[in-house]
Structure 1
Amino acid sequence: LPVISLYGGSKKPKPADLSDVDVLIFDLQDVGVRFYTYISTMHYVMEACAENNKPLIILDRPNPNGFYVDGPVLDTAYRSFVGMHPVPLVHGMTIGEFAQMINGEGWLKGKIQCNLTVIPCKGYTHSMTTALPVRPSPNLPNHLSILLYPSLGLFEGTVVSVGRGTDYPFQVFGFPNFPDKGFRYIPVEKRGASLNPPYKGKPVYGIDLRDYSVNYFLDRREIILDWLIYSYNNYPEKDKFFNNFFNLLAGTSVLRQQIENGLTPSEIRATWQPALEQFKLLRKKYLLYPDFE
């Protein structure tokens, strides 16, 4: 079969020429977070297959963050390539399950349907988290970074560094003017991962999260807002903490407003619950594997 090059970064992929293709196979390792753009790429692959009357086979893979559902549900006013679908920030679905939802809910352009076949995983359940045999991308180098990604990814819409340009991206966070609590790092260029990381060459003071265990995340099963709120509270120029990317990552303008207004993590989480309960009911229609309790 010919290989179709698909870009899963921060931009919409260019249309592929499917004229010589009999069937398209999609095989990418997702991490179960709405702003991780492999599911956005998959959306456009499904759309291209539907428009060209080509069948799509998805080789499903475990979702390492598939053991919970959490976060704000995307407001479609903030739809972008880092958030295309009205789902929570952590959706708790494999790519195969998510593709079935895209088809079933009519989210493709014009509600067209993709001729979809999902090849399921063996032995997977949503109660587990799976250490991946390969890195899904250069800046998610290990299991801990993937488990931290739903919480730390929001920092990319702020002034805070998440360790890009170090050997431990998405396992630390900091800022040059944060309080010195005994941990600092200096971002440098990393070929193939971070060519121009934030604060390159400057000492960054922050928090080291590398001692957190897998069981910590399995026990909490939630996005950890404490670190984001801590960083906002310790940043002197509050009006410059967030950038325009934050609302696209969050999928809403409300989360930023809540943090600026001083709401606690529990108060913020309470506002998510009605939409999360509705999504969980929708999600059950498309699950291929036993769910978490």
Structure 2
Amino acid sequence: MKYLSFILILFVISCKSSVESDIKWNEIDNNLQLNDSSLVVGANQIQRYLPLLKGKRVGVVANQTSVVFKENNNFTHLVDSLLALKIEITKVYAPEHGFRGTADAGEHIEDGIDAKTGLPVISLYGENRKPSAEHLEGIEVMLFDIQDVGVRFYTYLSTLHYIMEACAELNIPVIVLDRPNPNGHYVDGPVLEEDVKSFVGMHPVPIVYGMTIGEYGKMINGEQWLKDSVRCNLTVVPLKHYTHKLQYDLPIKPSPNLFNAKSINLYPSLCFFEGTNVSCGRGTEMQFQVFGSPFLSQDKFDYSFTPRPNFGAKNPKYNGVLCYGSDLSSSSDLNKIELKWVIDAYNSTKDPTVFFNKFFPKLAGNKTLQNQIEQGIPVEDIVASWQSDLKTFKIIRARYLLYE
């Protein structure tokens, strides 16, 4: 399937008063001609959510992907766009990788001040992953706009959960500006079990769940997954001209080590290696497109790389050590979880007893998958073991879908 090229349009206005701003946005909306193939993200539909922000003290959960698209592939950050429209943004809340998206995976992020806007930035990936009542003091409405990749262990889902929970406890409404899911075309993988819940997996969903982040927020609410079954006052600004079958290149990297469409497509399958002694390419220019280890045989694996510190990987696994493995950058696009690479690496490791680490069950969503691989269970039997839970999940998922 070819990747969809899409045009996301915003006209920037100069407003002398809030009344004048309303008139101009309405005029633009009435005159905007969209092709059938034009996809419009929630953030670009300012006329739909601007009335919910006017006169309110607003918090924004955002990172480098939180942009409003303009003509000719240009864009402005959502925060800058709202400030230009005289919206009173009080605080910004930053997920993993930070507000500007430059921190390594798992790197502790401190609170601070955004150099460009002067706004206070509250880290949701530091001491507190759930904002406290003090962090939310003065906030009257929370705006959430982050590009997700549709994978359970991508931590922006957990940030959404905690934002919804904290805001529900303080009766603060939450608005999610929806964005497309680059892995939205399939549902696969083991469903998370309760005993391995963590920040990289909080809900009983498969690794690839086939929902946008707006749909996922509706599911969190509807399935009463928030603490004490509180319900968030949630509004989702939906996408226009989107279906789950569309595939496309994200215009902005969602995190430092997901460089392109291929890495995003391979991420659900290659991230298993984060729970093993095998590198998935951090510290190279081929992150989540290759895998390798000094413990794999050069005779069987003819691709090699040596990880070095770089953007997004200050201290990569096997820093400076030659690794042998495979280059998957030219492989066919996936529409399922692929286990053959992690199984092949396990079977080829010189000492398989040290292959897995404690992180693997959290990524897998259970303790069973590791045991199945160690016991040599055939791939088709492993996949068959997921199917009953997947069937149940798909019934739940259908209740919250906004798109075909």
Structure 1 position 244 matched with structure 2 position 364: no
Structure 2 equivalent of residue 20 of structure 1: 138
Rounded to whole Å, the distance in 2 between the matches of 1:3 and 1:263 is 51
Structure 2 equivalent of residue 282 of structure 1: 396
2:227 aligned partner, one-letter code = K
1:258 to partner: Cα distance: 0.4
2:399 aligned partner, one-letter code = K
Is contact 1:62–1:130 with CA below 8 Å preserved after alignment?
A: no
Deviations 1:142-200 (A, max 9, x none): 11000000000111000000000001100000101312233111100014x00110010
Rounded to whole Å, the distance in 2 between the matches of 1:138 and 1:164 is 10
Q: Higher relative CO (CA 8 A, sep ≥ 6), structure 1 or 2?
A: 1
2:343 to 229, 232, 237: 229
SS in 1 for 2:92: coil
SS in 2 for 1:71: coil
Note the 1:107-256 alignment, pairs <5 A.
107-180=225-298, 181-191=301-311, 193-213=312-332, 216-217=333-334, 221-256=335-370
Is contact 1:171–1:210 with CA below 8 Å preserved after alignment?
A: yes
Deviations 1:37-77 (A, max 9, x none): 00000000001110111110000000000111100000111
Structure 2 equivalent of residue 73 of structure 1: 191
Structure 1 equivalent of residue 221 of structure 2: 103
Structure 1 equivalent of residue 94 of structure 2: 6
Rounded to whole Å, the distance in 1 between the matches of 2:130 and 2:285 is 32
Is contact 1:63–1:130 with CA below 8 Å preserved after alignment?
A: no
Which stretch shifts more, 95-104 or 13-22?
Answer: 13-22
Relative to the length of structure 2, the TM-score reads 0.69
Structure 2 equivalent of residue 268 of structure 1: 382
2:303 aligned partner, one-letter code = F
Rounded to whole Å, the distance in 2 between the matches of 1:14 and 1:278 is 29
Rounded to whole Å, the distance in 2 between the matches of 1:202 and 1:239 is 21
1:127 to partner: Cα distance: 1.0
Rounded to whole Å, the distance in 1 between the matches of 2:351 and 2:201 is 28
Is contact 1:82–1:248 with CA below 8 Å preserved after alignment?
A: yes
SS in 2 for 1:2: strand
Aligned structure 1 segments of 4 or more residues deviating by more than 4 angstroms? 9-12
Relative to the length of structure 1, the TM-score reads 0.94
1:14 to partner: Cα distance: 4.8
Deviations 1:214-266 (A, max 9, x none): xx32xxx2100000100000012111100000001111000000000101211
Structure 1 equivalent of residue 181 of structure 2: 63
Larger radius of gyration: 2
Q: CA RMSD in A?
A: 1.2
Is contact 1:27–1:59 with CA below 8 Å preserved after alignment?
A: yes
Rounded to whole Å, the distance in 1 between the matches of 2:90 and 2:251 is 25
- Identity over aligned residues, as a percent? 53
1:254 aligned partner, one-letter code = T
1:111 to partner: Cα distance: 0.3
2:155 aligned partner, one-letter code = T
SS in 1 for 2:189: strand
Question: Any stretches of 5+ residues in structure 2 without a counterpart?
Answer: 1-88, 98-105, 107-124
Structure 1 equivalent of residue 153 of structure 2: 35
Rounded to whole Å, the distance in 2 between the matches of 1:283 and 1:7 is 25
Rounded to whole Å, the distance in 2 between the matches of 1:242 and 1:74 is 18
Paired residues, number: 284
Which stretch shifts more, 256-265 or 176-185?
Answer: 176-185
Rounded to whole Å, the distance in 2 between the matches of 1:267 and 1:233 is 17
SS in 2 for 1:26: strand
Is contact 1:158–1:243 with CA below 8 Å preserved after alignment?
A: yes
1:5 aligned partner, one-letter code = Y
